[in-house]
Structure 1
Amino acid sequence: MEASNLHWTKQRVTFRFCPQCGTKLQSDFKFCPSCGKKIPCSADPSEREGTSAPTNISPSKVDEACKDSIDSQDSTEVRGKARLLPPVEQGEKSDKATVDIATGSSPKSKALSKAKKPKHTVALETLENGTEMTDMTGRKWTVMQLLSQSMTEFVYQVVEKGSKKSSSSESSYILKMGAKDGRIFNEQNFLQRAARPSSVKKWIKQQNMDLLGIPSCAGFGFYTDSYRFLIFSSIGQSLPSVMQDKLLPEKTVLHLTCRLLDVLHYIHSNEYVHCDVKAENIYILSGQATQVYLVGYSHAFRYCPSGQHVEYSEGRRALPEGSLDFISLDAHKGVAQSRRSDLQSLGYCMLHWHTGVLPWSTLTNPDKVAALKQRYMDDVPALLSHCFGQKRDSSAFLSYLTAVANLQYTEQPNYSELRAKLSAALSQLSGHLDEPLVF
């Protein structure tokens, strides 16, 4: 028994790191000696033995102290299929739409899969129409219909009970529900810490803006002992549903990018990065097509706690799930994502929305995708040449992607300059940010 305990202690010392700054920790540390952040609690014994398990923590398995850790969800959860595979399985293809890069074949990704064990999940069950939910302030909400679902979350249309406009779309809200201590826990913490309505309103006034596309959280609460939910004002349709598989004109892409840069500037200034910039997390408000929202903060990461930027270190963090086409090079390398990561992902989105092409879009091996991304970020003109083909490429795209490629890990982007150049290019195409988007 003593030998077994000693072996486990060594494993904990070898592979345990602070989820905030990446400092190596001893097994009995409760706070990080470098950044002072509380260390999340370990999960149940099956994780220590490397057994396969789905993602997220079951509430019955979580110590109450873990609920106070705002950053623990940032770096310790990966998709459930990221289990410890024997070497013969490491080369198998990943899910192209949403992948866990930790199943890649490189030695670095193998080490990461050992360092970050999968967590347990709660099997989500759909709610019937008419189900009533009560948030933490006592407001009651009635479920109207299921809008979308994934393996980890459900999204419903809801109305506030007793509202005089209960049958009107004006009173429609969105309810997002997931496992109580899953990724939605991280999103709630981000919204409460960095995206309070008063803070957003103050930023809009300071920056002399007309709007800022961060969804307003109207409330949150719990349903049974297993689920957590967030309530948002309705923000229209997702970008893919608006695009309907069509390519976007350059003018529209420039317009979208300017609006999204505004959002990224705000969240970066509040010590967070989004970490999952893609079309599915962009919404356009129906009837007001100038209002662009960036949603989906379940992977938001606090890159600069208390004003101190996390250090660059490859292979120290678990690689996040996400779309293989759009995740940043830092994400591929297991580096804690920084401001340049979000801007890089946005650049990939720009190219895809306008040309429908990315050099790595037919690949499923994460290491090969990473190699191509590195090659083309070192040669941005070649990247545009590949994506645009025989068409004339965009000088605005070239300027943006070159600036992003030259950013250092801890460097603060010049958001005003990036936006000014994109806005100027938009004006040359007879477009304006006050006009509705053209799809």
Structure 2
Amino acid sequence: MKKAATKPKKVTSAYKMAPSMPEGMVLCDLMKNQWKIGAPVGSGGFGLIYLTQPASTAPVSKNAEFVMKIEPHENGPLFCETTFFQRVAKPDQVTAYMNSKGLKHLGVPKFGALGHHEKDGKKYRFMVIQRFLTDLQKMFESNNNTFPHHSIFIIGLQMLDTLEFIHSQGYAHADIKAANIMIGLKNSNQVFLIDYGLAFRFLVDGKHKEYKEDPKKAHDGTAEYASRDAHRGVWPSARGDLEILGYCMWQWLAGSLPWEGKIDDKNFVSNQKIRYMSNINSLIGPLIKNEASSKGLCGYLNVIAKLKYDEKPNYEQLRSIFKSTLASFGSKSSEKLDLTSKSVTATSDSKAQFQVNKTPLKGRKRILSEENDNKIDVMDTKKTKVALVSKYKSPKRIQVRLPSLAKKTTPAKSNNKSSAEKKKLKGLSSLKNLVVNNCNNNQVMVTGGQVVSPLVRKRKRNEINYNEDEDVNICSEAVDDDYVVATSKRVKRKNVPMAAIGTQTSPGLKGLPRSRNPINS
């Protein structure tokens, strides 16, 4: 997925917008290398961002590996950003640091070039950096404001490595957020921190800036994630960056932050952050429904809350917290970054979100299991097999597929079965994917989107009573000697066996979940 051309963002500050530049224009950088401008692929705060490549007679390729950012020469943010790259983040400096730390990846963009250009009597500054796939904010919004929890902690680990490098050079980023974290173009398992327009040098000649509150600088940065220091007008620092990262992860884990509804009231936002950070375990912990994730985030924030303004953070301690959280998911930092699947989220009691009817089938063992990584895996008991696909569009849905069923349920192979067995297999030859939803303990939605409510368990084993007068779509099971499968059919006011059908808990959720289509696996 590549960025589509968009209009420049509306800016309310004193900084000026750069006009659009024509495709094919050639600009010369400070090293006398020439760069040709291609099509716009996005927008920054003060102008469009263009594809670019070293100048040649050929037009700029759609697969170009670099982009160019252009702003009016008098604008401060791009000057600040280029200064950061020139001083401490040239490619050879980044490579040397990675080698010294034994890192295979560091989320600092590759710096390409810097230059100046005049057009129509006006002077502009431009910078060339590597191109990316998309940003986390777009991914977050397109994914219903959620990420798989294990992926959030993988991102956190990559950001810790990146911030440790930036801080070791005496700089703070000061504007960490999902919109400034990019997915790698060549490797989508890597993330990069971009936009150093607010980068601040807090360490000069080994001396840290003194803590000093300045009302004129209060609330700098992006209000949702700004540190408490930033709200007080204190210079950015390593402590502030790590706190901002904590707010970002909190939002990704919970879906939102408590102060988002009044984001324009900066004093309210500031007071809310002070309140929550003063009692992390009691106030923040319950907002994260996954117990392991809650423990990991709270552990991280508790360390940050105890940091002094000019104290050097213990990055290894912070990494160990994230790694321990990943281990509780059965995951590692080296795993692929999955930002769309929900197969790793879990409930507050550390059990997989997808739980099963604990009433066993007559004469059989439970056929569904909760295995490592919080996924529901295939399990064999005697000759019974159940295959569940754990990729799905929303954490409130699950897609059920039995890939080997067709071979076992064709009419030719079932003709020799008894009439009772044939009745059990009726309709299975046309079985398709079945989506089973659960809203809470009292309501269930299945394919077709109609509600079955209330859900009352009877004393008689394996039966559920539906007290509805109209027809409803429900799911039932069919059993033969080899398979136990979930099927869907339409019935009217009758008791239906429901043993071993997977359901999902949604703690704290009121009403029905939003209906979304499952991913095709």
Establish whether TM, by shorter chain, passes 0.5: yes
* Structure 1 pair 234–393 and aligned structure 2 pair: CA distance change class (3 A): closer
Match of 2:87 in 1: 193
Query: What secondary structure sits across from 2:208 in the alignment?
Result: coil
Query: What secondary structure sits across from 2:307 in the alignment?
Result: coil
Query: What secondary structure sits across from 1:340 in the alignment?
Result: helix
Cα separation, 1, equivalents of 2:164 and 2:58: 38
Match of 1:404 in 2: 304
Letter in 2 for 1:437: L
Letter in 2 for 1:353: W
- My pick for the range that moved more, 406-415 or 222-231, is 222-231
* Structure 1 pair 163–154 and aligned structure 2 pair: CA distance change class (3 A): same
TM alignment of 1:230-245, pairs within 5 A:
230-243=127-140, 244-245=142-143
Contact 1:357–1:387 (CA<8 Å) still a contact in 2? Answer: no
Match of 1:388 in 2: 288
Cα separation, 2, equivalents of 1:267 and 1:373: 25
Q: Does 1:365 align with 2:265?
A: yes
Q: Does 1:431 align with 2:325?
A: no
Cα separation, 2, equivalents of 1:388 and 1:394: 5
Q: Does 1:416 align with 2:311?
A: no
The offset of 1:376, in angstroms, is 0.7
The offset of 1:431, in angstroms, is 1.9
Query: What secondary structure sits across from 2:217 in the alignment?
Result: coil
Contact 2:149–2:293 (CA<8 Å) still a contact in 1? Answer: no
Query: What secondary structure sits across from 1:327 in the alignment?
Result: coil
Match of 1:216 in 2: 110
Match of 1:295 in 2: 194
Match of 1:328 in 2: 227
* Structure 1 pair 315–167 and aligned structure 2 pair: CA distance change class (3 A): closer
Cα separation, 2, equivalents of 1:206 and 1:80: 43
Contact 1:290–1:433 (CA<8 Å) still a contact in 2? Answer: no
TM alignment of 1:160-171, pairs within 5 A:
160-162=54-56, 167=61, 169=63, 171=64
Match of 1:340 in 2: 239
* Structure 1 pair 230–390 and aligned structure 2 pair: CA distance change class (3 A): closer
Contact 1:129–1:144 (CA<8 Å) still a contact in 2? Answer: yes
Match of 2:162 in 1: 263
The offset of 1:138, in angstroms, is 2.2
Q: Which ranges of structure 1 fall in alignment gaps of 5 or more residues?
A: 1-78, 82-119
The offset of 1:146, in angstroms, is 1.4
Contact 1:239–1:284 (CA<8 Å) still a contact in 2? Answer: yes
* Structure 1 pair 138–156 and aligned structure 2 pair: CA distance change class (3 A): same
* Structure 1 pair 172–393 and aligned structure 2 pair: CA distance change class (3 A): closer
Q: Does 1:179 align with 2:72?
A: yes
Q: Which ranges of structure 2 fall in alignment gaps of 5 or more residues?
A: 1-10, 340-521
Match of 2:153 in 1: 254
Match of 1:35 in 2: none
Q: Does 1:281 align with 2:180?
A: yes
Letter in 2 for 1:196: K
The offset of 1:172, in angstroms, is 2.7
Higher relative contact order (CA 8 A, sep 6+): 1
The offset of 1:148, in angstroms, is 2.1
The answer to which structure has the higher strand fraction is 2
- Which segments of structure 1 move beyond 4 Å, counting only runs of 4 or more? 163-166, 389-393
Letter in 2 for 1:396: G
Q: How many residues align?
A: 322
Question: Which of 22, 26, 29 is equivalent to 1:135?
Answer: 29
Letter in 2 for 1:209: L
Cα separation, 2, equivalents of 1:316 and 1:190: 26
1:298-332 superposed Cα distances (whole Å, 9 cap, x missing partner) = 10000011110111111166246432110000000
The offset of 1:403, in angstroms, is 0.6
The offset of 1:427, in angstroms, is 2.5
1:195-251 superposed Cα distances (whole Å, 9 cap, x missing partner) = 121111111111111111101111011121421010012232111233324301110
Letter in 2 for 1:369: V
Contact 1:317–1:336 (CA<8 Å) still a contact in 2? Answer: no
RMSD: 2.2
Contact 2:227–2:241 (CA<8 Å) still a contact in 1? Answer: yes
TM-score, with length taken from structure 1: 0.69
Query: What secondary structure sits across from 2:35 in the alignment?
Result: strand
The answer to which structure has the higher helix fraction is 1
The offset of 1:168, in angstroms, is 6.2
Contact 2:285–2:295 (CA<8 Å) still a contact in 1? Answer: no
Cα separation, 2, equivalents of 1:438 and 1:307: 40
The offset of 1:282, in angstroms, is 0.4
Cα separation, 2, equivalents of 1:416 and 1:165: 47
Cα separation, 1, equivalents of 2:124 and 2:96: 32
The offset of 1:121, in angstroms, is 3.8
Cα separation, 1, equivalents of 2:164 and 2:226: 19
